[in-house]
Structure 1
């Protein structure tokens, strides 16, 4: 009952606040002043984006790396200072290398990390690094958001160390980032001159990010190919196109099966659940249609347009533009 009363009390605040009124772009969150989030199951808080104390100090010691492979499924902790320890693991530059980057309030144990890591290694024999930037991610949102570029550069320096020590080729490197982690992936890719093979942005964070300021967020120049999956645009996610191909399941703002989902946490997390399923499935059935809007898609105005599949370990690099699809309200989500 207390939870229900709290949500009821905050509901008018969320719907009427600056976070959702007067935005110059559909999903431009640069002018947001607060947002509601679920700090733990059933506990809701308002994050103040105006009066927060800001701490944007970033150092290499704030970022950890947990390496996994098929021969090392339990993982090993790696830092820039002990990178040579990789020689005693299953790390091999003859395989592809993926970096998974969590979002705000996350760490190594974030649900994203477990879902994507386990899915990838069950299907592909590659190197997987889980990037743990928890010491910074667990600051207030403004501090974490303003540290995105700094964290991205630290991650890029780790990749450069792998290049130097092991002759890692950027053409074999990919990033998969969720929420703020998507923007960190973009910042790392930019610091690597946009030469990583591909980046997958899973519902990149929306609050305080601008359509115009691409230097602080994920954009198509950050990798050779950038795919973005939008599931909670306009609330926790950034809904404007941010990649070479942008996918909008169910319109990209709310998701079936999530109920009222006032804070958007259910819809936000669907991005990595869809991506995970696209990897695990024997056949990727997240078939999407290129279209200019959800309205045109639902009216059938785009039925003859190009098709593409969302996600997958081998992303569809032929795709370009905005793609729409409908999913089921529970797993399996893909309809084909």
Structure 2
């Protein structure tokens, strides 16, 4: 039987009992403070290791027992962002997937599911602000944001344990949308970094269960992950798989993975080229293609790329210039292979049609988003 924290009012024992209670309370306060200090150290350690790359991050000697006490370590902490008919974005717990049909989801529209697993501080280049703007400006689409990145440090460290659960949530979302009358071929699922691999896993689970493919997966610099077996972007998971590369050294996958692989500025394809225009860190280069994708979708800016056998031939101008595509959601049915383009360090990032030809970069003001 549990001992109650009560004191008898008889005799001199009252004073000793009160002292005992005070000591218990002090011990509890000290335990809470100690847990908070350990978690603060955990997050500081993870932030430091992330700058060194995925391998260092995944091997960080954190206290997982303490981490499990905080929100964000469980995939069920994720949130859905959907639109109402009054043009308002509503945040729902991910367990509310069956309720999506009550919101502004229309079968006659194309659908974009964006899987967010990347967080930046609030700024002009904030991932969260871009996604909110995407939802309110692209009302011609059903835009659903699945946000796993509310507590991103926790997510990144534990995704190796919970990746299958994250993917299962995406599978359930795809199933709910198709049950609501949306055709799988009208669905594009997109994600950046870890989100690209979660999106690919969800699409793959859906394909194996329903025997139908979603129309398109757009993988934005898919993460190299803690284990190579967790790099899940491949051609078989969707009708068309487009990979928009960004860093290709520490954080992003270098190898072509899709039907279409786009390498802006050759970064991620050519090993000696490390940083995107205006970037001074690998994390910035990892984020750069996300900003290109958002500029194309939100601003409607044309960012063309041309098919070429490799980066060396692009530099020489020996490319198939009649075979060009634009970064975004729509790609020609015959688009396949490697595509290259040049882009700028500052918005607007596009050189338009001039980006189809290689040009040596001149020193310019560094003002590209920093992650």
**TM-score strictly above 0.5:** yes
Structure 1 residue ranges without an equivalent (≥5): 1-33, 39-45
User: Which residue in the other structure is 1:72 paired with?
Assistant: 87
Structure 2 residue ranges without an equivalent (≥5): 1-48, 269-274, 354-371
1:1-336 matches, cutoff 5 A: 35-36=50-51, 47-49=57-59, 51=61, 61-68=76-83, 71-77=86-92, 79-81=94-96, 83-84=98-99, 86-87=101-102, 89-104=103-118, 111-119=126-134, 121-134=136-149, 137-139=152-154, 141-164=156-179, 166-193=180-207, 195-210=213-228, 213=229, 216-253=231-268, 254-258=275-279, 260-261=280-281, 264-282=282-300, 284=302, 286-302=303-319, 304-335=320-351, 336=353
Q: Distance in 2 between matches of 1:291 and 1:182?
A: 24
Larger Rg: 2
Normalized per residue, which structure has more helix? 2
Question: 1:52–1:140: 8 Å Cα contact kept in structure 2?
Answer: no
Which one scores higher on RCO, CA 8 angstroms, separation ≥ 6? 1
Can you list the C-alpha shifts for 1:73-118, whole angstroms capped at 9, x where unaligned? 332425434633642x322222222111112557999933431452
Give the C-alpha shift of residue 324 in structure 1. 0.9
Aligned length: 286
Can you list the C-alpha shifts for 1:200-246, whole angstroms capped at 9, x where unaligned? 11111124353xx4x64111111111111101111211111111100
User: Which residue in the other structure is 2:12 paired with?
Assistant: none
Can you list the C-alpha shifts for 1:278-322, whole angstroms capped at 9, x where unaligned? 2244452x22122232222112232x4553224223234431011
Can you list the C-alpha shifts for 1:263-289, whole angstroms capped at 9, x where unaligned? x121111111101122244452x2212
Instruction: Name the TM-score, length of structure 1 as normaliser.
Output: 0.73
Q: Distance in 1 between matches of 2:332 and 2:248?
A: 22
What secondary structure, in the 3-state scheme, does the structure 2 residue paired with 1:192 have? helix
Give the C-alpha shift of residue 163 in structure 1. 3.0
Structure 1 vs Structure 2 CA RMSD: 3.3
Q: Distance in 1 between matches of 2:261 and 2:73?
A: 30
